[in-house]
Structure 1
Amino acid sequence: MEVLKKSGDYINSNEIKKISQDKKLLKKFLKKKVVLELCPVFEQSSFNPKKKFNPEKKFGQKKLFNVERSFLSPLGLPQYGVHCNGWSKEKSDFFFHFALRSKKLRDFPNHFDNIFAGGQPTGISISENLKKEASEEAGLKILKKNLIVGNVINYSHNHNDEIHSGVIFVYDYQVNKNVKFINNDGEVEGFKSVEVDKIYKILERKLLKPNCIIPIADFFLRNMRDFFPNSGILRLEELFKENGQLIK
């Protein structure tokens, strides 16, 4: 299975597996201390990744093999992750709740992020990972009545001259009044609540982590369609139809 073209040569899945399981090669490739967070690689092409999963079952049961998370993007492999929109309503006003990423993070420091999000490792279900990230990043214990299931959406973007592809499991969480967010993993500087009609200011200043706009757009399509002009709605629907799937 050919999954990547790098420097004019194809690297097949067997070569990737060999490299990914060699910690010395991995450390040399990444030029940093190796901290393994194993993520699954599936048979599907990176351009049309696997999107259908049971959120209650352990992730990666039908994988080809595991790869350290930091190794996925350099090899052109998609990263899987959970992203949750935090939102609340006061009278007629909608608010989005964001995490401010730590200044010490390598990627997108001090940028706005979804209220909690994280990579989807192998061996833990999507639902359990969502609970884990909620606790670690925002100090939240998820109440089922406040959780709404969104869509599974694959995407790609250019960052530091590398193409990053991924698949996002989108969720919405209604934040109860007087809830105080507490970060427990050191990856968040603080939290900020923003009125929905002020989110554009964050976008104008390019302070939103790029892939975080995807869950937000998915939320608007499902709950606030009148927020976009009709032409924008149609285009978003086309993109999501091509690249998305409902979580079941």
Structure 2
Amino acid sequence: MKSNLDLINESDSFPYYEDNPGKYIKFRSSYWEFHLRGGSGPHGYMPQYVFERFAEMPWVNAWDIDFSKKTLTPGPGRQEDIIREELEQAKKKGVFEVLNRGWRNELYPIYGHNDPSEKIISMERAGSALFGINSYGVHMTVFVNTPEGMKIWVPRRAKNKQTYGGYLDNTVAGGLSTGEQPFECMIRECAEEASLPEALVRSNAKPCGTVSYIHIRDERAGGETGLVQPECQHVYDMEIGADVIPKPCDDEVESFYLWTVEEVQEALAKGQFKPNCALVLLDFFVRHGILTGDNEPDYVEIVSRLHRKLPFPTS
């Protein structure tokens, strides 16, 4: 059985310098820094083996590469076009499974160091983990207050999903594309994944901050492992009546369950939830007084780890 701190460590799995400087430096040395022209620092971390696979393609000729500093920067030309063309070529040649299985024709933004509110470029979502850039999403916990106590709507991901097939999820969740506002993204995902009407969501969903972490992908995510995913999730809560029942609308959700808090906690301890969804639920438990300093010995560390400062510019 996993403790709540185990769940944190599983999702926020990139090491901290403060915990062990030597270990951190050794780990970081196995990654390349992805830079953009005109930027003042890195925008992502790329594993050594990913760099080597790219370097076997004509890819290397379109980039400025510093082998001593292990940095790569798009060369002359429009940076967004260079990245898109190389990802498309890698997909065509079948170089990376994450591109073969997960290409979405959906763009993720990369923001600048000098003005974090300004998007520099966008990148195909499926390639974002190869470059290790910050990504953003929305997660909502939908709950019902019943005479027996609070119950939470929990979906099971379709078994054929590219990532974490068959795992439990937050009630509604999805990636935030370039140009999309978080709440509008949530409205869309509610309709697509849970058949929840727009009017209901606009009237009842409440923004509750963010959860951030740096995850290192393992085999459950599908495709290549060791990829770095710094993520920031915009978190929402929504209380609904017993007469409202989420239903799968697309092929991403298999079924929904209405579970007590104790049933959700048991499934978390058994590792049945997608790792980042566990963090969102722990944040929900903290905010609703379910998880406290009186019943959780690692409470202070858990709360602080739910809001990691990301290493690259955020919007």
TM-score (norm 1): 0.82
What CA deviation, in whole Å up to 9, does each residue of 1:101-129 have, x standing for no partner? Answer: 00111211111101110000012211111
Match of 2:273 in 1: 208
Q: Which amino acid aligns with 2:193?
A: E
After superposing the two structures, state which structure 1 stretch, 194-203 or 81-90, moved more: 194-203
Contact 1:4 1:10 in 2 (8 A): no
Q: Which amino acid aligns with 1:6?
A: P
| SS in structure 2 of the partner of residue 97 of structure 1 | strand
1:143 aligns with 2:201: yes
What CA deviation, in whole Å up to 9, does each residue of 1:140-163 have, x standing for no partner? Answer: 023344212111221122222323
Match of 1:153 in 2: 211
1:43 aligns with 2:130: no
1:85 aligns with 2:141: yes
Task: Output the CA distance in 2 between the equivalents of 1:239 and 1:35.
Answer: 30
Q: Which amino acid aligns with 2:300?
A: L
- Give unmatched runs, 5+ long, in structure 1: 51-60
Contact 1:116 1:137 in 2 (8 A): yes
1:11 aligns with 2:76: no
1:24 aligns with 2:82: no
Contact 1:4 1:11 in 2 (8 A): no
- C-alpha change, 1:227 and 1:93, in structure 2 (3 Å) is farther
1:195 aligns with 2:236: no
Task: Output the CA distance in 2 between the equivalents of 1:176 and 1:13.
Answer: 52
Task: Output the CA distance in 2 between the equivalents of 1:176 and 1:69.
Answer: 35
Q: Which amino acid aligns with 2:110?
A: V
| SS in structure 2 of the partner of residue 113 of structure 1 | coil
Task: Output the CA distance in 2 between the equivalents of 1:149 and 1:26.
Answer: 38
Contact 2:212 2:308 in 1 (8 A): no
Aligned residues: 230
- Give unmatched runs, 5+ long, in structure 2: 1-34, 36-41, 49-66, 219-224, 311-315
What CA deviation, in whole Å up to 9, does each residue of 1:60-115 have, x standing for no partner? Answer: x7211000111111111122100001111102511111111001112111111011
1:119 to 167, 175, 180: 175
Q: Which amino acid aligns with 1:159?
A: R
Q: Which amino acid aligns with 2:45?
A: L
Task: Output the CA distance in 1 between the equivalents of 2:104 and 2:307.
Answer: 36
1:231 aligns with 2:297: yes
Task: Output the CA distance in 2 between the equivalents of 1:133 and 1:125.
Answer: 12
1:98 to 148, 151, 154: 154
Q: Percent identity?
A: 22
Match of 1:62 in 2: 118
> How big is the shift at 1:184?
1.8
Contact 2:141 2:281 in 1 (8 A): yes
Task: Output the CA distance in 2 between the equivalents of 1:170 and 1:105.
Answer: 23
Q: Identify, as 1 or 2, the structure richer in strand.
A: 1
Q: Which amino acid aligns with 2:271?
A: K
| SS in structure 2 of the partner of residue 153 of structure 1 | strand
- C-alpha change, 1:226 and 1:71, in structure 2 (3 Å) is closer
Q: Which amino acid aligns with 1:143?
A: V
**Larger Cα-atom Rg:** 2
> How big is the shift at 1:194?
1.2
Match of 1:75 in 2: 131
Contact 1:153 1:243 in 2 (8 A): no
Task: Output the CA distance in 1 between the equivalents of 2:304 and 2:140.
Answer: 22
Contact 2:213 2:306 in 1 (8 A): no
> How big is the shift at 1:132?
0.1
Contact 1:148 1:173 in 2 (8 A): yes
Match of 1:109 in 2: 165
Q: Which amino acid aligns with 2:72?
A: I
Task: Output the CA distance in 1 between the equivalents of 2:245 and 2:204.
Answer: 16
Q: Which amino acid aligns with 1:235?
A: E
